[in-house]
Structure 1
């Protein structure tokens, strides 16, 4: 039987998220002044929009009010998505990050910045970016057991290859 508040919250919220077509990514309970703050992150393969977050927030609020998970104390509920610089923890996170740049800390102490090309249940094929622009990117297969932690990086100036190809009619 789960004993921590987070474990009890996850047990309550997982089926609610599944019914809503969402993946429950993270649940955090922190103290915010005199009351607790419950932060919940949800996502899908196609991302999550504000309507889905609002609907799920209502469902969660009702479920928490009907349960004893939070006890009698006041709490503040926040439901959102993992955000642009999301951590890559599970295979589905890596699959959702295909095409994105990630900073990857390796279990052996190394660190690489790489574009996620494809991912499966065991690992990911990445294109390691050259250090300081020297050399060419190199493909590398990383098993998840080789990764200590990884996080998607925000790219402000990336030119989308598909958009460039669509605008190129071959004329010079």
Structure 2
């Protein structure tokens, strides 16, 4: 079993019965000090204290099992920043109602409010390029299959 799979297996008891979910695990091996980066989230967010608790418990378990054969390692457990693309289905669900930018596989970018998330697709209400006039037709929601999405990012607004 590779180290990434081992870390994922060891994380399971610390996910509080599926309250937290794994967004990403990265393992960067090194001759001097390996680095493990774990990104966790939940449907309501995850606090620094919760990340620290998981880090302490997971770090202790990794040392106990000597996953790196006595070698040094650095463990970072955090939440994904708002600048990182959405990757997990639960991340999409958590961000319903927020403004997103969706880069499609064909290079086109759609921006709008994330309205709904299904098993196979998302629905956004596209932001018009210009302010709509009184006689403009209403904006129809756009369904985008996950298979057509290259990357989705949250759009932060300071209005």
- TM-score after normalising by structure 2: 0.83
In angstroms, what is the RMSD of aligned CA positions? 2.3
| 1:144 to 2:146 alignment | yes
CA distance in 2, matches of 1:32, 1:138: 51
Matches within 5 A, 1:17-166: 17-19=15-17, 21-30=19-28, 34-131=32-129, 133=130, 135=132, 138-157=140-159
CA distance in 1, matches of 2:91, 2:18: 19
For 1:5-63, what per-residue CA distance to the aligned partner results, in whole angstroms no more than 9, with x for missing partners? 22222222234324473112111122589312211111110001122112111111111
Deviates more, 1:115-124 or 1:5-14: 5-14
Contact 1:91 1:122 in 2 (8 A): no
Contact 1:20 1:56 in 2 (8 A): no
Secondary structure of 1:36 counterpart: strand
Q: Which has the higher contact order (CA 8 A, sep 6+)?
A: 2
CA distance in 1, matches of 2:67, 2:23: 19
- TM-score after normalising by structure 1: 0.78
Unaligned residue ranges in structure 1 (runs of 5+): 158-172
Measure how far apart 1:90 and its partner are.
2.5
CA distance in 2, matches of 1:42, 1:152: 17
Indicate the structure with greater helix content: 1
- Tell me: CA distance 1:48–1:65, structure 2 relative to 1, closer, same or farther (3 Å): same
Unaligned residue ranges in structure 2 (runs of 5+): 133-137
